[in-house]
């Protein structure tokens, strides 16, 4: 009898854990803060819709494209509070949102090279605005399967980078239903032990991004918006990364808008951190969009 009871409990536990691993991602996804608001994902490359209602677009002005991770995407923000929408409203330029949660510079490169939508949208764009966050350096080294940030798209070589041509699944087409079972990183610091080496790799990605961008539109400029909220990094348990090497990228033709300075320390206060405590709030882009517009002459 005891053997039967033990077998029953064992079977129950096996079924429980199998079901848990099958539905774990779905359960987590359903509780994510950014699911609170309806979000219109346009394609499998993570293009979030930017509402047109109430927007006056000046047909004589070229468009803008926002790229990056959840900061660019607008996690925990309504459509009208995202960076892309604020830029569109303030500048009267058509603006596209290609940000997506947990993406990094390798995903930006992948979209520039592979997305048909991007190839179409960039034809009339004047600026691609990439929102940089320190954790993008760590994400360059993620070599485990994850439904948002899979293994490296580029391989780091002695003399530069080489493309990986094998299939690269950027995001699930329906991220509410598709789940992935696999190993996940628990060492947040392991990829940031050598900041200089990480920045060197990051720089190679950026140069490849710019090269691929110019092939599609030689008149489009690449902007790096440096957004490093020390408070958000601390709450995430991530290492802070600060550098004075942005000048190197300016020399390569990039436009740098750096909010990682003492002048913008106020971004670390509660008013500028979303209710999930790990993303920029609506107040951030309301405050910074005029600054961005002024610096770019939009």
Concatenating the DSSP letter of every residue in the chain gives -HHHHHHHHHHHHHHHHHHHHHHHHHHHHHH-GGGSS---B-STT--B----TT----TTSPEEEEEESHHHHTTT--GGGSHHHHHHHHH---EEE---TT--HHHHHHHHHH-HHHHHHGGGEEEEEEEE-THHHHHTT--S--SSS-S-SEEEETTEEEE--S----S-SSTTT----------TTGGGS-HHHHHHHHHHHHHHHHHHHHHH-TTPEEEEEE---HHHHHHHT------STHHHHHHTT-EEEE--SGGGGGGGSGGGB-TTSSSB-HHHHHHHHHHHHHHHT-
**C-alpha span between 255 and 152 (Å, rounded):** 25
Q: What is the mean pLDDT of residues 109-131?
A: 92
pLDDT digits (tens, 9 = 90+) for 54-85: 788 999 999 999 999 889 998 888 889 999 99
The pair phi, psi for residue 220, each rounded to 5°, is -85, 135
pLDDT at residue number 205: 85
What are the extents of the domains in the chain?
1-31, 38-296
Q: What is the mean pLDDT of residues 211-215?
A: 95
Residue 34 has pLDDT above 50, yes or no: no
pTM, to two decimals: 0.75
pLDDT band of 147, cuts 50, 70, 90: very low
β-bridge partners, 221: 127
**C-alpha span between 209 and 211 (Å, rounded):** 5
Superfamily of domain 38-296: SGNH hydrolase (3.40.50.1110)
Task: Write b or e for each residue in 176-195: b if 16 or more Cβ atoms lie within 10 A of its Cβ, otherwise e.
Answer: eeebeeeeeeeeeeebbeee
Residue 250 has pLDDT above 90, yes or no: yes
Q: What is the mean pLDDT of residues 206-231?
A: 93
Q: What is the mean pLDDT of residues 5-10?
A: 70
The pLDDT > 70 percentage for the chain reads: 69
- Using CB atoms within 10 A of its CB, is residue 168 exposed (0-12), middle (13-18) or buried (19+)? middle
Q: What is the mean pLDDT of residues 169-192?
A: 34
DSSP string for 141-206: T--S--SSS-S-SEEEETTEEEE--S----S-SSTTT----------TTGGGS-HHHHHHHHHHHH
């Amino acid at each position: 009898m005891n053997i039967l009871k033990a077998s029953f409990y064992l079977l129950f536990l096996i079924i429980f854990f199998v079901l848990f691993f099958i539905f774990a991602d779905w359960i987590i996804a359903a509780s994510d803060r950014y699911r609170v608001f309806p979000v219109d994902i346009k394609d499998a490359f993570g293009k979030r819709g930017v509402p047109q209602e109430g927007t006056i677009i000046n047909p004589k002005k070229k468009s803008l494209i926002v790229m990056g991770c959840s900061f660019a995407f607008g996690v925990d923000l309504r459509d009208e509070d995202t960076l892309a929408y604020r830029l569109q409203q303030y500048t009267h330029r058509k603006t596209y949102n290609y940000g997506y949660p947990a993406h990094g510079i390798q995903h930006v490169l992948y979209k520039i090279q592979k997305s048909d939508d991007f190839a179409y949208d960039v034809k009339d764009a004047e600026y691609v605005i990439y929102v940089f966050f320190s954790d993008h350096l760590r994400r360059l080294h993620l070599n485990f399967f994850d439904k948002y940030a899979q293994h490296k798209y580029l391989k780091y070589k002695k003399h530069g980078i080489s493309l990986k041509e094998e299939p690269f699944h950027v995001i699930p087409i329906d991220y509410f239903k598709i789940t992935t079972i696999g190993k996940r990183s628990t060492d947040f610091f392991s990829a940031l032990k050598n900041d200089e080496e990480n920045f060197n790799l990051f720089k190679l990605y950026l140069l490849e991004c710019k090269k691929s961008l110019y092939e599609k539109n030689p008149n489009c400029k690449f902007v790096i918006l440096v957004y490093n909220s020390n408070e958000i990094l601390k709450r995430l348990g991530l290492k802070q990364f600060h550098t004075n090497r942005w000048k190197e990228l300016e020399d390569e033709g990039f436009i740098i808008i750096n909010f990682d300075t003492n002048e913008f320390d106020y971004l670390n206060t509660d008013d500028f951190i979303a209710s999930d405590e790990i993303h920029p709030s609506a107040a951030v882009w309301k405050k910074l969009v005029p600054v961005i517009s002024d610096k770019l002459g939009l």
